[in-house]
Chains A and B, each alone.
Chain A
């Protein structure tokens, strides 16, 4: 993948910031508004897919190394499991919402106990996983093109 023209590159480098912000908003406000970790993670991954289409795969590979993406993927999964195990430690049952009355009020950003943290973990995980899938598939297609020529 070589990338597209200067116009596309400029526009997408501006739009990328907005998409990332929107994804972070969807993840952080997942317990108040429609959305959540899955949707926000997909939006975060799609911002890098846009960069990959505009600038080419090599640029994205330097900007966001694949080892970092796999580490983020594992970190998200680990954080989700750790939230579940902390529920087991502090309240006696796996996945208990042990923070629910410790901080904040309902209908505010700081509320809902462990749910925002779970949303962040799921968002990291889904975003990194989807980016990895799309990157692997693009590499796979490239190989097939090379083989057919």
Chain B
């Protein structure tokens, strides 16, 4: 239970730094750290698929954001430090490669999904009782719109929000120009 409090404090501190700091790059990095903390929370709550989604969207998305938008703030290392940085990154990649090999050893073989080995897996219930409890012959539809409808709701919300962002950012004319904006009168 303490791990949740530690992670919670970490997330709060990272969000506060991300809001309060003046440097754009460190703000983006703090948002990445916050997303990493949230994905760890999901992992400790035994929701690994959401943790994977979280780490992909939050951390990798922010790395892409750094590369794409604020490249002028990046500082490039040259000289002797460049050699050191290359050695360190190669070592880190090698360690991640070894860890990946260990992970692939624990995976079940291709063609033998995990729910055939675990009789009480949730997917067994979907397959055996999906038709009579939801009435849908397409089990995918019964999962995404009945058993896991919350996921679909979240997905639709993400789509809706991104459409609002895209149409507002990409529209041709601004609705309010500085001339037509009324000054806010404070009462």
Q: Which residues of B contact A30 (CB under 8 A)?
A: 138, 141
A19 to chain B, nearest CB (A): 21
- Stretch from A4-12, A47-55, A104-112 contacting the other chain: A104-112
Identify the 8 closest CB pairs spanning chains A and B, nearest first: A112-B136, A31-B136, A136-B170, A112-B135, A95-B149, A140-B170, A118-B145, A129-B163
Q: How many residues of A contact B (CB 8 A)?
A: 39
Q: Find A100's partner among B134, B149, B170, B171 (CB 8 Å cutoff).
A: B134
- B58 CB–A CB distance under 8 Å: no
Q: Which residues of B contact A97 (CB under 8 A)?
A: 134-135, 146
**In the complex the two chains form, is B166's CB within 8 Å of A133's CB?**
yes
Q: Which residues of A contact B145 (CB under 8 A)?
A: 31, 36-37, 114-115, 118-119, 122
* A36-B138, A106-B132, A139-B172 given; 18 more Cβ-contact pairs under 8 Å: A32-B136, A36-B140, A36-B141, A36-B144, A70-B167, A84-B153, A100-B133, A112-B136, A112-B141, A113-B134, A113-B146, A114-B145, A118-B152, A129-B159, A129-B160, A133-B162, A136-B167, A137-B170
**In the complex the two chains form, is B135's CB within 8 Å of A32's CB?**
no
CB contact under 8 A between A122 and B137, given known A31-B142, A97-B146, A136-B170:
no
Closest A residue to B149 using CB positions? A95
- B96 CB–A CB distance under 8 Å: no
A104 to B142, CA, bound (A): 16
A111 to B134, CA, bound (A): 9
